[in-house]
Amino acid sequence: MMTVQTLNQRLIELRDVKKIYSTAAGDFVALKGVNLQIGAGEFLGVVGKSGAGKSTLLNMITGVDRLTRGEVIVNNGEAVSIHAMAEDEISRWRGRNLGVIFQSFKLLPMLTLVENITLSMDLCGNFSPKRSRQRALELLRLVEIEEHADKLPALISGGQQQRVAIARALANDPPILVADEPTGSLDSVTADHIFDLFQRLVMEQGKTIVMVTHDQSLAARFSRTLSIIDGEVGEFPPQTDVKSEDEAVAPPKWRFPWRRRK
């Protein structure tokens, strides 16, 4: 169904990724051999019914869960096969290359907003402590909650918390952001703001974003949308007629080629 893009455009590539959950009740195939390429600078939406395998797909890309078969290659300058790495290596790699955002915000409750962000930099050691705080404040300004910088997460709203989670995902300036229903627990106005933020990150900073959403109305705003049905990946809206391959992988018109990395 998908064709191969030119090598330099292919930032993330899933090759025949299969995920089987084995439970006492028997094996459950959550991903049935997914092949997928994601180009640098794409804003990719993933939609599908509950239980279709969206989260499972993201977990394969972030290396948060192990796949059963296949390979996930991320080519950010050098190509790495995520699942060939040890857990620890994945963590380190993820810290620098990939920001993860969940539906629930997963901020550490005992740290202030700034500290939540600097913790990420602290662990990866990319920035000096002084530079960290500066950068954290910049990121908070970017997500427009700079004024709350020294508050604890419990004292701000859900939408604000999600912004902090996004700022944290950006802490080490990773080229890729992966978000699993980031607006799922927010009201539609707040969700819209968050979505705008993502769009800005793609357009202004050239980030590559993979985002799962339930909200099919958002589909038009992605540069490309995938649909997952029962562990299989298709285009959205589900197509009955086969499109030409060129069209299917055409890069979005608002891509910024100058941000492409070597």
Ligand X SMILES: Nc1ncnc2c1ncn2[C@@H]1O[C@H](COP(=O)(O)OP(=O)(O)OP(=O)(O)O)[C@@H](O)[C@H]1O
- Encoded one letter per residue, x for contact with Mg ion by CB under 5 A and - for no contact, window 186-225 reads ----------------------------------------
Contact with ligand X (CB under 6 A) among 28, 66, 110, 158: 28
d(CA 77, CA 8) in angstroms, rounded, equals 9
Q: Note whether 52 binds ligand X by CB under 6 A.
A: yes
Find the binding residues for ligand X in span 30-49 (CB under 6 A). 30, 48
Q: Note whether 62 binds Mg ion by CB under 5 A.
A: no
Q: Nearest Cα to 261, choosing from 12, 91, 4, 84?
A: 12
Q: Note whether 55 binds Mg ion by CB under 5 A.
A: yes
Q: Note whether 84 binds other proteins by CB under 8 A.
A: no
- Encoded one letter per residue, x for contact with other proteins by CB under 8 A and - for no contact, window 10-29 reads -----------xxxxx----
The β-bridge partners of 103 are none
Q: Supply 192's token pair.
A: 């819209």
d(CA 237, CA 148) in angstroms, rounded, equals 40
Residue 236 C-beta: closest distance to other proteins, Å? 26
Question: How many Cβ atoms are within 10 Å of 247's Cβ, its own excluded?
Answer: 8
Q: Note whether 109 binds other proteins by CB under 8 A.
A: yes
CB 117 within 8 A of CB 124: no
3-state secondary structure of 40: coil
Query: CA-based diameter of the chain, in Å?
Result: 56
Provide the pairing of β-strand 208-212 with 43-48: parallel
Three-state SS annotation for 209-256: EEEECCCHHHHHHCCEEEEEECCEEEECCCCCCCCCHHHHCCCCCCCC
By CB under 8 A, which span of 40-48, 112-120, 230-238, 249-257 interacts with other proteins? 112-120
3-state secondary structure of 130: helix
Q: Note whether 87 binds other proteins by CB under 8 A.
A: yes
Residue 228 C-beta: closest distance to other proteins, Å? 18
Q: Note whether 23 binds ligand X by CB under 6 A.
A: yes
Q: Supply 53's token pair.
A: 């395998």
Contact with other proteins (CB under 8 A) among 76, 103, 160, 172: 172
d(CA 85, CA 72) in angstroms, rounded, equals 11
> Which partner from the list other proteins, ligand X, Mg ion, none does 158 bind, CB cut-off 5 to 8 Å by kind?
none
By CB under 6 A, which span of 23-31, 86-94, 150-158, 190-198 interacts with ligand X? 23-31
In terms of CB distance, is 190 or 216 closer to other proteins?
190
d(CA 189, CA 47) in angstroms, rounded, equals 20
Q: Can you give the binding site for ligand X, defined by CB under 6 A?
A: 21, 23, 28, 30, 48, 50-56
Q: What residue ranges bind other proteins (CB under 8 A)?
A: 21-25, 59, 64-66, 87-88, 91-92, 94-96, 100, 102, 106-111, 115-116, 118-120, 122-124, 129, 132, 154, 168-169, 171-172
